[in-house]
Structure 1
Amino acid sequence: RRAGYGQRCRWRCFSFMQLARPQNYKFMLPAELGMALWLAGGFAGLWHFSEAATARSSQRQANLKLVSRATALMAAAWLISTLVTRLPALYSDPALQRANYRGIVQTITATLREGDAIILDAPNQAEVFNYYYHGEAPVYGLPVGLGGDDPQTRAAVEDIIASHSRAFVVFWGEAERDPQRTVETTLDSLAYSAGDQWFGDVRLSRYLMPQPFSIERESGAQFGENITLLNYALNSETLASGDALQVQLHWQTDRQLDTRYKVFVQLLDANGALQTQHDGEPGGGLQPTTIWQAGETIADNHALILPDTLPAGEYTVIVGLYQLDPPYTRLPVGDGDYVTLGTIRVR
C-alpha cells in the first residue's frame, strides 16, 4: 500500500513538472484576480482590526490600532513601489520580452505572393501569429493534434510542397510537438532552403518548392582527402533578377569524418565579384558531415535568391566546403578551393 502511495506521489510530481513550463504560465493569468482579492482582504482585515481596537479605550488597544494601520500602509506602499519599479521592465527589458511575432508577420507579408503558404511548427503559436496576420495565404499548423504521427505529418508537408510554390515556416516549440523534426526534414529533403532569420527564440525559414532540372551533370570532384561531389543539378540556365536558382548536390565520403563542414554555393559576376550566396551544413543542417557513413549518398539542396537589382549578363555558379569552426579553412579541390557548376544567364 505504501509503495502504491509512493508511486502515485511520484506520478503527481511528474505531472506537475510537465505543466510547470514557461509557455504554460499564461494559463495562470485568471489567478491574478484571486491574488488581488486576497491582498485586498488582507488590507481590509488590518484596517477593520484597527477600527475594532478604537472601540476599546485601553492604551494597549490604541497601540494595536496604530500598529495595524501602519502595517497596512507599509504593505500597500511596498506593493505600489514594486509595481512602479518592476512593471516598466516588462516593456523595456529585452530579456523579459516575448518573441517579435509582429516583426515576423511583417517580414512574411512584405514578400508574400500568390501560391505561397505559411507553416507553423508547432501549431500552438497560432493564437499569437493570427493576432497579427490577416493575409490570404493559407496557414498550416503542423503537426496536427498533439503530434507523434510522423507519417501523417510527412504526408501533410508533401501535400503543401505539391500545391504551393513557396513556404514560410515559423519554428517554435517544435522540439516538443515535433521531436523527430518531421516537418523540417521533409522540407529539407524535398524543397530548397532560401535562408533563416531569428526573432528571439523563434526561427523564420523560407523554402522554395522544387522545379524541374534543366542541367544535370556528373562531377566526381574530390574535396580534401575523403569527400566527393558525385553529381549536381540546376533548375535553369536562364533566370530573371529576383528569381531563385535551385541547386541540388549529392555528396559522399569514403570514411567517417571528424570535422564538420559547411557548403557554400555562390554566384559570381564576370569579374569574380560575389553577387549572392547560400551557406549551410548539408541537408539543411540536418546532415552534418560528422554523421555521414562511408559510401552513403547525401542529398543537399540550396537556393540562391537573385537580387532584384542584378544586372543582365552571364554569371558563374561555384560550390565548395569550409570548416564550420574558425579559421573556416576551405577544403582544397584540384588546384583551387571550389568547383564551377556552370554559367547562367540573367535577362
Structure 2
Amino acid sequence: MIDIQRSPNSKINDINFDSLVFGQVFTDHMMECDYKDGEWQTPKIKPYGPLSLEPSARVFHYGQAVFEGMKAYKDKDEKIWLFRPDQNFERINKSSKRLAIPEFPKEYFFNALEELLKIDKDWIKQGFGNSLYIRPFVIATEAGVSASAAREYKFMIICSPAQAYYSGEVRVKFSEKFSRAADGGVGFAKAAGNYGAQFYPTNLAKEEGFQQIIWTDANTHDYLEEAGTMNIFFRIGDKLVTAPTNDRILDGVTRKSVLTLAEEFNIETEVRRVSVNEIVEAAEKGELKEMFGSGTATVINPIAGFGHKDQKFELPKIEDSYAKFFKDKLMKIQYNEAEDKFGWRYEVKQ
C-alpha cells in the first residue's frame, strides 16, 4: 500500500531538457517513508518540496545518512527500464547497516520506486544519453543531540532528468597525502560523509587543472584505489586492470558490469592492487593505453591524462578504445537496444 498525493501542477513545461545541469532539476514528485516506533511506516508519494526537520535532527550532528544512485531509461517503444536495481537496493541496506540505520523492506522499495517512475514517466526522455537519475537516501530525523544512533529515520527517493555527467576532457591527480577511507572504515558504504570529506582535496586538485582525484591507500599512498565519484580502470597494453573491492572501495554496479562484459568478450582482466609506480612507469614506456572511470552517473568516462607529484602525463587518443567499447555495450543494454543475456534490465510495468 502506498499513499499517493499528486501534484496539482507540473513544472515539466518550464524545463529546457536540452541544457540540463546534472542534479539541479527535479521531477514533480518524491517518495517519503518514515521509520518510527521500531518499524517503517506506509510509503508516501507526494509533490516534490522542502522538508521540515528539527535543528536537533541527528543527521545534522552525527551524519547518519546514506544514499544510492540509479537511472531509469526509456526505449523507442516508451518502455521504462532500470539497470540492475537489485544491486542498488542491496547496497543501500548494506550501507545503512554499517551506519546503524534500519534496513528498508524490499517490497516497499520496489513498489514505491515503480509507482514514482510511472507517475513522473514524462520526465524520462528517449534517446542515448538521456535518462532519469534516481537518488534514494536515508537520514536520521530523531530530535536530540545525545551521541547515539537515532530511533527515527526518513527514507526518500527523488529524481532528476539527466544527460551526460561530465563534459569535456577529464584529467585526474593521484593523491599523495589525502585518503578517502581506511581499513575498517566506511569506504565500502555510500555514506554522505565519504563524499563531504573529499571535496577539499578535490578542490586543491582543481586548482592545479584536474577534475578528479584518484585516491591512494591510507597506509602508504602507494596503491591506487578509486576516484571521488568513479571506480577506475587501467589498460596496460591490451590488459584491463582494476583494484579489488574491500572495505575501503565502493562495490560499483557499473564496475561489476564492465568486468562481466570483459569476460564475455575475452578481454584479459586482472583484479589486483595497482601501484602508483606501475602506472607511472607504464605511462613513461608508452604501455598505458587508457584510463577510464565507471559509475552510474557517468557510465564510462575516459580519462585524458593524470598527474603525480610534479609530473603530468597525457594518454593517447585511441579510436577503438575499451572505454568506448564498454560504454556502447552497456548503454545498448540499458536502453533495450541489445540482447540482455545477463538479466540486468528490469522493466517498470506501466
Structure (1 or 2) with the greater helix fraction: 1
Into which bin does the TM-score normalised by the smaller protein fall?
Answer: under 0.3
Q: Which has the larger radius of gyration?
A: 1
TM-score, structure 1 normalization: 0.24
